[in-house]
Amino acid sequence: MADQVLNLKDIRKAYNIDTEVETEILHGIDLNLNKGEFCALIGPSGSGKSTLLNIIGLLDRPTSGTLAIEGRDTGALNDTELTKLRGQRIGFVFQYHHLIAAFTALENVMMPMLVQRGFADAAMQQRAEYLLAQVGLTKWQNNSSQNMSGGQQQRVAIARALAVNPALVLADEPTGNLDTKSAETAFDLMREVNTTNGTTFLIVTHNMSLAKRCDRTIEVIDGAIHGAV
């Protein structure tokens, strides 16, 4: 348990509860992730992968079931505590990069640290510079995200997800919008961070060749986990 980053037990998610159109999207998900695991989450479109990822990332609450991050049960936490835990222990990479255009690449990487501390400081900047160097974008650090290619933006987003040195990085189709070469680069980057830092990754992908290179593949079909865990 101590070495598990994530424990899901019987997670259910339903929309329009107590109405005639109530629909359950997730039907009791059990899932554990060990520290340092690099997992792919696959499944057909509409099967509930994003819904599950948002619940794991504490952006959304399950209708029922228990969710523990690093052994800490999250059921009793209020919104403020969930926000804090999310900011400190979870990193996100989204399909459409989602950088904030009003800030430079470097500032985007600093952002998770900045919202947590409230003020910028030199250590934050050094950390962001280090991460941008890791993703090979030192030369671009003062560029606005608008002037970067999709692959570059996604590398910035990966650097940003690592900023607070989170226990778990959740990536929702991070390579879905990239050309093959950029997709390779982004994937290799995440894999490299995983091996050097031991950061746990859960990556939603439709790319089977990338999924095969993960430690484990979890398949979601119609809101339930399919096959062996």
Partner 1 sequence: MNSNIPFEVTAAVRFLREGILQTLLIVVGVAVGVSVIVFMSALINSLQSNLMARVLSGQAQIVLSPPKQSARPMLQLGPNSVVRVVQTRVQQQTSIDQWIKLRTILSQMPEINAVSPMASGAALITRGSATRSISLLGIDPDNYYRIVNIPADMVEGTSRISGQDALIGKDLAEDIGLRTGDKLHVSNASGTNRTLTISGIFDLGNKGANLRNVIVTLNTAQGLVDLVGGVSSIDVNLNDAYAADAVADRIVSAHAVKADSWIKTNAQFFTAMNAQTISMTTIRLSVALSVALGIASVLVVSVVQRTKEIGILRAMGASQGQVLRLFLVQGGIVGLLGSIGGVLLARLMLVFWVLLARNPDGTNFFAIDITPAIYAWTAVLATAAGILAAAVPAINAARLDPVVAIRG
Ligand X SMILES: Nc1ncnc2c1ncn2[C@@H]1O[C@H](COP(=O)(O)OP(=O)(O)O)[C@@H](O)[C@H]1O
**Under the criterion CB under 8 A, does residue 49 sit at the interface with partner 1?**
no
Closer to partner 1 at the Cβ: 11 or 114? 114
Q: What does 48 interact with, of partner 1, ligand X, Mg ion, none (CB < 5 to 8 A by kind)?
A: ligand X
Euclidean distance between CA atoms 115 and 103, whole angstroms: 14
Q: Are 179 and 102 in contact (CB under 8 A)?
A: no
Closer to ligand X at the Cβ: 22 or 73? 22
- Contact string (CB under 6 A) for ligand X, positions 48-87, x = contact: xxxx------------------------------------
**Under the criterion CB under 5 A, does residue 50 sit at the interface with Mg ion?**
yes
**Under the criterion CB under 6 A, does residue 15 sit at the interface with ligand X?**
yes
Euclidean distance between CA atoms 112 and 64, whole angstroms: 29
Given the rule CB under 8 A, which of 55-63, 129-137, 193-201, 205-213 is the region that contacts partner 1?
A: 55-63
How many CB atoms are closer than 10 A to CB 82?
A: 16
**Which strands form 4-15's sheet, in the order they lie side by side?**
23-34, 4-15, 64-69, 72-73
Euclidean distance between CA atoms 134 and 56, whole angstroms: 27
User: Quick one: which of 7, 47, 108, 205 contacts ligand X (CB under 6 A)?
Assistant: 47
**Under the criterion CB under 5 A, does residue 47 sit at the interface with Mg ion?**
no
Sign for the CA dihedral angle at 208, 157, 146, 172 comes to positive
**Under the criterion CB under 5 A, does residue 175 sit at the interface with Mg ion?**
no
